[in-house]
Amino acid sequence: MVRGGHNLSATEGPSTSRIAKDSFVVLIGTAGSMVLLFGTQVLVGRFMGTTAYAIISLIISLAYIISDFADFGLKSTIVRDLSSIKAHNPEDAPNYMSTIFALKIRITSIAILLSPLAVYIASLTIFNDSMWYDAVLYSTIGITTGIFLTMSWFLRAYFQSLKKFLLYSAYSLVGNSIFFILVLLGFITGQDETSLPFLLLLSYAIWLIVGFFLLKGRYQSGTKTSEFRRRILSFSKWIMASSVIVTIVNRMDQLIVASLLPYEDVAMFSAAILIAQLIPLLTTSISTALFPTVSEIRTKIGMNIYLRKTLTVTVGVSILLFFPVILFPGPVSLFFGIAYVSADLMFPIMGFAFLLGLATSPMSLVPLVVDRPDTLVYMNLIQLVLTVILLPLLILTIGLIGAAYNVLIIRLLTPVYLGVLTYLIMRRKIRVKPWDE
DSSP for 162-180, please give it.
HHHHHHHHHHHHHHHHHHH
Q: Which amino acid is at 398?
A: I
According to DSSP H, which parts of 3-48 are helical? Answer: 16-32, 34-47
Enter the DSSP assignment of 436. Answer: P
**DSSP letter string over 227-254?**
HHHHHHHHHHHHHHHHHHHHHHHHHHHH
Rounded distance between C-alpha atoms, residue 310 and residue 359, angstroms: 9
The pTM for the full model equals: 0.75
CB 38 within 8 A of CB 53: no
| Spatial separation of the C-alpha atoms in residues 150 and 133, rounded to whole Å | 25
The model's pLDDT over 381-412, given as tens digits with 9 standing for 90+, comes to: 998 899 999 999 999 999 999 999 999 999 89
Q: What is the pLDDT of residues 258-300, one digit of tens each?
A: 888 888 898 999 899 988 888 887 777 777 677 666 767 777 7
Instruction: Give me the tens of pLDDT residue by residue for the chain, a chain 437 residues long.
Output: 334 434 444 445 556 666 666 667 666 666 666 666 677 778 778 877 787 788 777 777 766 666 655 554 555 555 555 555 655 565 666 666 666 656 665 665 665 566 666 666 655 555 555 555 566 666 666 665 655 555 555 555 555 565 666 666 666 666 666 666 766 776 666 666 556 666 656 666 665 666 556 555 444 444 555 666 666 666 667 776 777 787 788 778 888 888 888 888 989 998 999 888 888 877 777 776 776 667 677 777 888 888 888 888 888 888 988 888 888 778 898 888 888 988 898 999 999 999 998 888 888 888 877 778 788 888 889 988 999 999 999 999 999 999 999 999 998 988 899 888 888 888 777 776 666 55
Give yes or no for a contact between 404 and 272, defined as CB atoms under 8 angstroms apart: yes
Angle formed by the axes of helices 300-327 and 16-32, nearest 10° = 60
Calpha distance 285→287 (Å, rounded): 6
Give the CA-trace dihedral at 49, 55, 59, 62, to 10 degrees.
130
Instruction: Check if the beta carbon of residue 244 is closer than 8 Å to that of residue 73.
Output: yes
Beta strands in 136-204 (DSSP E): none
Distance (Å, rounded) from C-alpha 324 to C-alpha 276?
12
